[in-house]
Amino acid sequence: MITTVAVENYRSLKDVATTLGPLNVVTGANGSGKTSFYRALRLLAGFTRDGAISTLAREGGMRSALHAGPRDKGPVTLRMGFASDDYSYAIDLGLPQPSNPPVGFPRDPEIKTEAVWAGEVLRAGSLLADRRGPRVRARDAGGEWQTAKWTLGIHESLMSALADPTETPELFAVREQASRWRFYDHFRTDVDAPVRRPGLATYTPVLAASGDDLAGALLTIERLGDPVALHTAIGDAFEGSRLTLVEDDDGTCRIRLAQPGVLRPLTAPELSDGTLRFLLLAAALLSSRPPGLLVLNEPESSLRPSLMPALGALIAGAAERSQVVVVTHSPDLIRSLKAADARLIELVKSGGVTTIADQGLLDAPRWQWPAR
């Protein structure tokens, strides 16, 4: 389980470190930094799985991602990391040294340091692998430091260069850990959305981030997952409605929802945006292959307030199988999740800087960045 997330100089998150529990709710006023917190988690997952440069490029590059407010004196840095029960990771990116004429890709960041350590707190004795500049070292089976025979380019991360898991098993374990993180942000439910068309009746243990394979994901839950939880959630949310999944002879699957007082079941093209979105969230939360970390960004979008108790129950149930982070500004959903013993992380912004409400120095988690 992820126990701490730390971010420095990313958008409005100038210096944020927070403890996470099994179920977490991130909230705050509009513009307080909730979206930046969500994006930081996605960026950190991308750093760990895919490497830094390609992930940061999708954010608009280093200069776009950096905190835009006044900075302390010293080198420009963007740092992110997480601590967990098993292995922890941190990365420190900076701007390249200027040259005249420019060489290579001067807008790409340089990776100054990376570190992987055992347990939650970075100490000299817990450090397992690190890089400073191009040099990489890792502990061998006997715990002795060994410098790698190969070096990294200034734009290459440890994770993107990882090739042999037997050579550096700790790095491989960190990358595998991040590969089990799952993010859901925006589902298309407009009239032309693929989710409104029949889907394939095929084994789909994980709903795609787009939600386009909803029919297959629901069918997999019904046949191989927890159909009782699925049908209970839908019945509670929509006053006794009943979901039916029809597999055609050609291998397609059609979604039908029978509602009290309606003479025939409604098909996916006829469902409201809110109803379809609830089905998408149910498929994500009841996955027959639960992720290590599940992050939902504003799941209440397009849902009426009366659906929040049913959604809250689904999220609380998912937190029994996965660690869950919910970014929301819905008072009804927050109330429901607080009743499920969620950890509340309230963000506030002042002077362009996001902080955590009521978190003093003694309340902050133990966190130390690796030295450059």
Instruction: State the average pLDDT over residues 25-37.
Output: 96
The answer to whether 196 and 86 have CB atoms below 8 angstroms apart is no
Give yes or no for a cis peptide into 101 (omega within 30° of 0): yes
The answer to whether 136 and 147 have CB atoms below 8 angstroms apart is yes
**Chain centre distance of CA 152:** 27
pLDDT of 191 > 80? The answer is yes
pLDDT of 104 > 70? The answer is no
For residue 51, the model assigns a pLDDT of 67
pLDDT of 170 > 90? The answer is no
Instruction: State the average pLDDT over residues 153-164.
Output: 72
Q: In this predicted model, which residue has the larger pLDDT, 164 or 92?
A: 92
Give the Cβ contact number of residue 58 at 10 Å: 11
For residue 75, the model assigns a pLDDT of 78
pLDDT of 110 > 90? The answer is no
Give the Cβ contact number of residue 267 at 10 Å: 14
Which pLDDT band holds residue 100 (cuts at 50, 70, 90)? Answer: low
Which pLDDT band holds residue 102 (cuts at 50, 70, 90)? Answer: low
For residue 234, the model assigns a pLDDT of 97
Which pLDDT band holds residue 175 (cuts at 50, 70, 90)? Answer: confident
The answer to whether 90 and 80 have CB atoms below 8 angstroms apart is yes
Per-residue pLDDT tens digits for 134-152 = 888 888 888 899 888 878 8
Q: Which residues pair with 117 in a beta bridge?
A: 88, 127
Q: Which of 139-143, 256-260, 302-306, 313-317 is least confident?
A: 139-143
Q: Sketch out the chain's domains with CATH numbers.
A: 2-20+51-173 (no CATH), 182-347 (3.40.50)
For residue 166, the model assigns a pLDDT of 72
Per-residue pLDDT tens digits for 213-238 = 999 999 999 999 999 999 999 999 99
pLDDT of 97 > 90? The answer is no
Per-residue pLDDT tens digits for 244-288 = 999 999 999 999 999 998 889 999 999 999 999 999 999 999 999
In angstroms, the Cα distances linking 143 to 84, 121, 123, 138, 146 are 21, 18, 14, 9, 9
Instruction: State the average pLDDT over residues 299-303.
Output: 94
Which pLDDT band holds residue 78 (cuts at 50, 70, 90)? Answer: very high
Q: Which of 96-110, 221-235, 341-355 is least confident?
A: 96-110
Within 13 A of 161's CA, how many CA atoms are on the CB side? Answer: 19
For residue 99, the model assigns a pLDDT of 61
Instruction: State the average pLDDT over residues 160-175.
Output: 75
Instruction: State the average pLDDT over residues 62-78.
Output: 78
Token couple for 213: 């394979």
Instruction: State the average pLDDT over residues 151-177.
Output: 77
For residue 98, the model assigns a pLDDT of 65
For residue 63, the model assigns a pLDDT of 77
For residue 168, the model assigns a pLDDT of 76
- CA-angle at 229, arms to 225 and 234, nearest 5°: 120
pLDDT of 162 > 70? The answer is no
The answer to whether 26 and 345 have CB atoms below 8 angstroms apart is yes
User: What average pLDDT does the structure give for the chain?
Assistant: 90
- The whole-angstrom separation of Cα 34 and Cα 330 is 13
In angstroms, the Cα distances linking 164 to 170, 173, 210 are 11, 12, 32
H or E stretch covering 54: helix 52-57
